[in-house]
Structure 1
Amino acid sequence: MDYLISSDQFWEGTGYENLLLEQVGDFTLQAGQHCVTYETSDELSDGQYYLTMYNNNNATISTRDYDYDSDENYDGTYSGTEGDESYYYKYLVDETAGTFTLVDSVPVTYSGYVSSVQQVGDNLLTDSGSAFEANEFDQDHNLIQTLTGSGATWWYRVFKYDYSGYWFA
């Protein structure tokens, strides 16, 4: 493992403290995340890249007893299936400097479990899986359309493809 993006309070006393990247800026850390995407850019320096994810904003852990409410890095998180907001998060990771910065965020309908995000051209597609809701936003984060549904199980992932060059010329 090269590094962790997480709360220093969460990892205190575990022996993994030296793997934590330093948070740059004032924002709540991701709490439960799905559909993490790694993105490079010629505009970034060596050792830099973006990580995008669906931040479930669900501070639940089954492997140890941890009080997220006492951790200042997780302000406004929820536990379980009931909550107000999840988020699309985009981090700029700088492995050379040992830092991460939140460079973009969009609040979306809460989904404590499952879910996905996808960049579609200049647009953003989010899937709040346990809420059975998919939203597409334009480049300025204005809502373009919403797809809602229901069912006995959650929408695990929602993606949008044009199949250009695959099925269509």
Structure 2
Amino acid sequence: MEEYFLKNRKENIIGNRFKEGEIITGIIFNPVDYVLDGIKFINTEKIENVAIKTNNFKDKVMMKKIQIYFDEPIKKIIRDSKTNSFEELFTVIESLDLLCELSLSEEDVVYIGKIIDVYEDSIDVDFFDTECNLMDNAYVEYENITTVTIFSDYLDSLSEVMKST
């Protein structure tokens, strides 16, 4: 497990890295104990420091859980896809029609949205409120993104509600 210390953030992110690149780092988010709660992609520029957290028993449990976690075909697509840039990542997210959570550089809030268009340096995204109502359509530049989350329990719950409405 690694603990990621991010610029302009009070809270750190703990997870198991499965993809590391110059632009984005992919982790399976571990908010507490043995809980896996989605996949986070971190803007590598926003990482101040990374600390390795060693706990042999927890590492053993988490490695087993991570193997099971990636058994789902849609998660395998994310793990195995070429996502070395934000453009590649958002192209995959858009093609799979996934709901995602964006954490932007200077804010402590997150935005829930669906990717509408992907460009070389930005995305167009529809943002939704906590009751799945369309709030806004926005243009977001990649340099302003700190993290992108998919497959969290929260996002999966909202996705199910959106499918049924």
TM-score normalized by the length of structure 2: 0.30
Choose 1 or 2 for highest CA Rg.
Answer: 1
